[in-house]
């Protein structure tokens, strides 16, 4: 069985690397030749734990990386993982997946194969049936369900654990018509992932599942963050103890209850806006979703208010931000709350210095010389009036009195509460813990 993966972004490259590392005959396709060249040399275009190692194992086996779409003509399985970025109104941009579908269709027209095409790109309900399927049929001159299979197969990867999530998904969703291709796909996935639940449904439900999944996670985060704000204004209240306890309730679960300055990244904000946009078009007022998004947006204002309260004013103050990636173990700063914080502080004429173990280069692309970049945590803290811990990198947990000795004013605002149990000679505020 020969497998193609079209689109070598976060999802596509993770999938390509895992499949190839297991000995499958895989071809990874991307229109960016420079990216392909890097990947062929075992270099990943972004940081993800274990990805580079997995990629290099795959390259030693049966992995081909190319910008030549014609290589998919001999493939039995074609995964489509191209991006669906966000428009200004919250809707998703389909230009890339339309182009990929048209190109795949043209290749199919010259192929003798009867492949299964699996759409992993995140798209709103009815996109596959109303847009992708007609393009493929028109460009290939072939009929879906007969001469090729077309199945929705949403992904549920988390950044920082993409390799593990690819190897061990919590569920597999296959959406589409009940054809011979669906039966074949079910057998393939059952072999790839034994004992993992396989959900067979239609296109629209499968597409909706991905948005429902991310919308619920966003709701869970906003809920615990709102509780965190209440705790912060309640002397002695501790959000971490509350989260730990309610997380033990099997009806709730412990995941995504880590209160912080708000959710970010490439998925949750984008998918929430897309869901709101889709809901409005469907004639359903997304009241709860709006509240979730508003709560998330408020979180950064809570941090700003705390900085202003403790410093008095921020103009000309040296403020250190520790962590710009939206979460630890990634270099992704897309929709990062830390980036939003920095932008707001700059408007208030603060002097900003940042540190991040992996995301400095990506941060430079946004701010250039408008802020300072520190190579070490100690350099970041030197002469600082205030340090704001935004990302829960492991190394920030090592901060102690020696680390902060060269601060001009020993003020710490800990948005992740990673130093809450330490005795620090500093004015310390932990978001979500009420001061007595």
Q: Tell me which residues are annotated as active site.
A: 267
Give strand pairing partners of 364. none
CA distance 288 to 223: 11
CA distance 402 to 221: 34
Tokens 């059952």, residue located = 190
Show Cβ contacts of residue 328 under 8 Å, excluding neighbours closer than 6 positions.
Answer: 160, 391, 392, 393, 394
CB 97 within 8 A of CB 114: no
Which letter does DSSP use for residue 87 in this model? P
Question: What tokens appear for 164 in the block?
Answer: 């593990």
- SS3 call for 26: strand
Give strand pairing partners of 429. 413
CB 323 within 8 A of CB 392: yes
CA distance 378 to 79: 46
Among residues 389, 382, 433, 429, the alpha carbon closest in space to that of 409 is found at: 382
Sign of the Cα pseudo-torsion (392, 52, 218, 169, in order): negative
CA distance 310 to 381: 17
Q: What is the CA radius of gyration of the chain?
A: 24
CA distance 380 to 365: 19
CB 211 within 8 A of CB 267: no
Among residues 171, 170, 169, 177, the alpha carbon closest in space to that of 201 is found at: 177
Integer angstrom CA distances of residue 59 from 31, 43, 44, 248? 19, 11, 12, 43
CA distance 133 to 181: 15
CA distance 2 to 12: 16
């Amino acid at each position: 069985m020969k497998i193609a993966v079209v689109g070598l972004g976060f999802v596509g490259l993770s999938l390509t690397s895992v499949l190839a590392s297991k000995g499958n005959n895989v071809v990874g396709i991307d229109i960016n030749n420079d990216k392909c060249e890097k990947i062929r040399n075992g270099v990943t275009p972004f940081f993800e734990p274990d990805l580079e190692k997995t990629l290099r194992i795959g390259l030693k086996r049966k992995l081909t990386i190319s910008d030549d779409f014609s290589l998919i003509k001999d493939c039995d399985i074609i995964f489509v993982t191209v991006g669906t970025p966000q428009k200004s109104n919250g809707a998703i941009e389909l230009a890339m997946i339309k182009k990929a579908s048209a190109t795949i269709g043209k290749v199919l027209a010259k192929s003798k194969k009867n492949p299964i095409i699996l759409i992993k790109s995140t798209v709103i309900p009815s996109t596959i049936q109303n847009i992708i399927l007609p393009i493929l049929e028109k460009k290939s001159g072939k009929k879906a369900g007969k001469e090729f299979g077309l199945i929705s197969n949403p992904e549920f990867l988390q950044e920082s654990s993409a390799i593990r999530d690819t190897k061990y998904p919590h569920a597999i969703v296959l959406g589409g018509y009940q054809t011979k291709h669906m039966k074949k796909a079910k057998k393939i996935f059952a072999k790839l992932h034994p004992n993992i639940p396989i959900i067979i449904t239609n296109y629209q439900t499968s597409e909706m599942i991905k948005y429902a999944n991310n919308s619920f996670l966003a709701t869970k985060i906003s809920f615990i963050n709102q509780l965190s704000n209440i705790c912060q204004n309640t002397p002695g209240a501790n959000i971490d103890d509350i989260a730990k306890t309610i997380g033990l309730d099997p009806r709730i679960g412990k995941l995504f209850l880590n209160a912080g300055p708000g959710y970010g990244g490439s998925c949750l904000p984008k998918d929430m806006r897309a869901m709101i946009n889709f809901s409005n078009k469907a004639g359903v007022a997304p009241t709860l979703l709006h509240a979730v998004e508003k709560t998330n947006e408020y979180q950064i204002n809570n941090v700003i208010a705390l900085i202003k309260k403790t410093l008095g004013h921020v103009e000309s103050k040296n403020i250190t931000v520790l962590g710009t990636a939206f979460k630890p173990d990634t270099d992704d700063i897309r929709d990062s709350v830390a980036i939003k914080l920095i932008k707001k502080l700059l408007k208030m004429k603060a002097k900003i210095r940042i540190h991040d173990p992996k995301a400095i280069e990506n941060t430079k692309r946004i701010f250039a010389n408008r802020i300072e970049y520190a190579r070490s945590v100690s350099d970041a803290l030197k002469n600082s009036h205030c340090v704001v811990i935004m990302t829960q990198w492991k190394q920030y947990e090592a901060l102690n009195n020696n680390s902060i000795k060269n601060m001009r004013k020993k003020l710490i605002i800990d948005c992740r509460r990673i130093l809450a149990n330490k005795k620090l000679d500093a004015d310390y505020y932990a978001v979500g813990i009420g001061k007595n």
